[in-house]
Amino acid sequence: MAEEVASRLSRYRLTTANAFQQDLVVPEGKSLTLSVPAAGKSAPGYVTLSPKDIADAKLWLGVPDPVGKRRKLRALSPADLALARGAAAAAKVTPEQHTSLQSLAYQYVYGDSTALANDAATISKVVSGGSIVGVFLQNVDVLPNAELKLAANLKVFFANDVRIWKGGRIVLLGNIKVDCNSIVGNYTAPKIPIVLNPSLNLGIIANFGG
């Protein structure tokens, strides 16, 4: 199992040392929100990723090309392609070109990237210097009638095994890549786990619905 986790982490250019070293248990009847720490602050498990190019963004956030081919994204715009290709040799990208590159980047990441393979270097200009924040955990238990919210500013939720106990739920508040070894819902067992580190962000745990 450790080798499998290490292999999955390697896609993000991370090691097991970057992952939170304890299980996360959301207490019964409580609501916990995981959100990117405030500027200048850090918290266990949160990692800032720096994509080198659009291929990194697709690997970390997007879908494989076979899946992308089946998605009904809008057709590639000739105008966007023309503006993007005009930006290839430009020293500075214009606002119009940047908008077109963003549109093509979405197509590349969440659709079939093979259709834009020749334009990947140019599209990568929109991710250059950018950052992606994810939370990297071990096992996660959302206990009965508990709630785990993932804030929109998080872009990756990485864990080993996730168990959502009966009455519990996980709520995604934005477009977040979920990368888990397994997720089981409506889980029940004779013994409920001991609550360990119920909050990765101090002060954000509250009564369910609070």
DSSP 30-77: EEEEE-PPPTT---TTEEEE--SSHHHHHHHHS--HHHHHHS-PPPPP
13 and 29 co-located in one domain: yes
Q: How far apart are CA 166 and CA 187, in angstroms?
A: 5
121 and 58 co-located in one domain: yes
Q: How far apart are CA 146 and CA 198, in angstroms?
A: 11
Residue range of the domain that includes 78? 54-126
Q: Is 178 helix (H, G, I), strand (E, B) or coil?
A: strand
The first and second tokens of residue 43, run together, are 């918290």
Greatest Cα pair distance in the chain: 64
172 and 117 co-located in one domain: no
Last residue of a domain, one of 126, 151, 166: 126
pLDDT higher for 148 or 77? 148
Q: How far apart are CA 93 and CA 124, in angstroms?
A: 12
pLDDT higher for 64 or 38? 64
137 and 199 co-located in one domain: yes
Last residue of a domain, one of 126, 145, 169: 126
Note the Cα 186 to chain centre separation in Å: 23
The count of domains in the chain is 2
For 95-151, the pLDDT digits (tens) are 888 888 888 899 999 999 998 898 898 889 888 778 999 999 888 999 999 999 999
126 C-beta neighbours (distance < 10 Å), count: 24
180 and 156 co-located in one domain: yes
User: Residue 197 has what pLDDT?
Assistant: 53
Nearby residues of 46 by Cβ (< 8 Å), 6 or more positions away: 36, 37, 133, 134, 135, 136, 200
77 and 173 co-located in one domain: no
Q: Are 82 and 103 in contact (CB under 8 A)?
A: no
Rounded mean pLDDT, 180-186? 92
167 and 198 co-located in one domain: yes
Question: Residue 61: is its pLDDT beyond 90?
Answer: yes
179 and 203 co-located in one domain: yes
23 and 75 co-located in one domain: no
45 and 100 co-located in one domain: no
* DSSP letters for 179-209: EEEEEEEEE--SSPPPP----SSTT-EEETT
Last residue of a domain, one of 126, 141, 171: 126
120 and 152 co-located in one domain: no
- Indicate the Cα dihedral angle 80, 85, 90, 94, nearest 10°: 0
Q: How far apart are CA 9 and CA 15, in angstroms?
A: 6
State the number of CA atoms in the 13 A half-sphere of 1 facing the CB. 8
Kindly report which listed range (48-57, 80-89, 129-138, 168-177) carries the lowest average pLDDT score: 80-89
The first and second tokens of residue 108, run together, are 């590349």
203 and 174 co-located in one domain: yes
